[in-house]
Amino acid sequence: MTASVVSKTFEVVSSGEDDLVDITGDVRDALAESRLAIGVATVFVTATTAAVTTIEFEPGLAKDFPAMLARAAPKKGVYYEHENRWHDGNGHSHVKASLVGPSLSVPFVGGELTLGEWQQIVLVELDVRPRTRKVVVQLVGE
């Protein structure tokens, strides 16, 4: 059988910095629409101040994860060269997004994502204001 490539996009509206949005259902919907049974789903956010990862999406970790990123790239008390050019207050946002990354690959088998029982796919908003983000799901499989 020949492999197929299917691309789907959807938008996510965030409430701003440190918002974690569960997009697992959107990715599952894209997979279901593709009718592919086995392969790999790549989830990619088209932004430099947002990221995609997996997490157990529960209230404690929804606070712990942004707090960890704040320790790695603090909003205040650290100089960001980005601020000299744009003066938009989000140099730390770009650094955090680079640490987490804009994409994630998830295998699928039997038309189902192979996520663990407590594992969800989340978009992490890192910019200093609410944003509408475009997410691309590219599915390669049969």
| Binned average pLDDT, 10 residues per bin, the chain of 142 residues | 93 98 98 98 98 97 97 95 92 98 98 98 98 98 98
Superfamily of domain 4-141: YjbQ-like (2.60.120.460)
Full DSSP string of the chain: ---EEEEEEEEEE--STT-EEE-HHHHHHHHHHHT--SEEEEEEE--SSEEEEEE--SHHHHHHHHHHHHHHS-SSSS--THHHHH-SS-HHHHHHHHHH-SEEEEEEETTEE---TT-EEEEEE-SSS--EEEEEEEEEE-
Residue 2 pLDDT = 85
Task: Tell me what pLDDT residue 49 has.
Answer: 98
